[in-house]
Amino acid sequence: MPKTFELDSPHKLNSFNRARAAVSERVELPGMSLFAHLDELRKRIVHSALYLAVGYVVALVFAPELYLLMQAPLKHNQIQLNFTHPADLVNLRYIQIPLVGGIILASPLILYQVWLFIAPGLYRRERRFLVPFMFSAVGLFCAGAFLSYHFVFPSMLNFIILQLSGELGIHPIISVEEYTSFFFSLILGMGATFELPVVIFFLAMFGIVSPRFLWKNVRYAILIIFIIVAVITPTPDIPTQLAFAVPMLLLYLLSMVVAWWVHPDRRRRKEEVAA
């Protein structure tokens, strides 16, 4: 007979029940109607769009300076960028650099709008996490982008441009469009990776994940982290990979602390002790 999936494990069943109970508690919170939620969502989207527009204008004014900052790792290797289509420069000057720069500049205010939208579904004691949330989200992204810009990206360029091209005897001709896409994908990707504690913060606060779950699956997390590091690091030597894997492992451990701090089970135990 075909096997059917059942939550036969007591641990799985308890985890499932705790997550469902945490969500059910929030459904019972005094909230807004569907139309009120939609109106609130519209308001937050409009505010975020206005902040993004202001950030875009500021980044547009300083686009040449931002481009020099982007080109600095490549210029250090004495490599000149090229463009193959006249529209590449227009796209770079008026779309790519100002848009990405505007998103980064407006991100704290946009995150604040996200917080304001989800705040009605939070308990009063959970709303005190606003300041830690804002500082950690912005700080972790900046830390990931800084690490990528000063260490990961230059090492990748040195390996690809100096070592591989020298071994194969191929002269590099890099287009500005391809370089910009590669630069943004690596810098923004590393910054987004460092947001892991913030993601765990929300998942744990809503009872979806627990510290026990994170600790039980730590071996899988280590495997995934080293796979990511193997992809983003240019050289296969162990010291280089450890230099990037250790901060990510520390972020995972920090995520477990964050999950313990905000998980509903901890709140219930404190209420039981106080009672």
**Residue spans per domain, the chain:** 32-191, 195-269
Looking at the chain, the whole-number percentage of residues with pLDDT higher than 70 is 80
Q: pLDDT band for position 4 (50/70/90)?
A: very low
Encode pLDDT of 16-61 as tens digits. Answer: 555 555 555 555 445 566 777 788 889 999 999 999 999 999 999 9
Distance (Å, whole) CA 134 – CA 139: 8
Percent of the chain with pLDDT over 90: 23
Give which of 223, 197, 192 is closest to 211, Cα–Cα.
197
The pLDDT mean for the chain works out to 80
* pLDDT of 46: 96
What's the pLDDT score for residue 6?
A: 45
Tens digits of residue pLDDT in 176-205: 888 888 888 888 888 888 888 988 888 888
pLDDT greater at residue 93 or residue 125: 93
Task: Reply yes or no on whether the pLDDT at 138 is more than 60.
Answer: yes
Angle of helix 238-262 versus helix 218-232 axis, rounded to 10:
140
Q: Is this structure's pTM higher than 0.85? A: no
Model pLDDT for residues 76-117, shown as the tens digit of each residue: 777 788 888 888 889 999 999 999 999 999 999 998 998 888
pLDDT surpasses 60 at 15: no
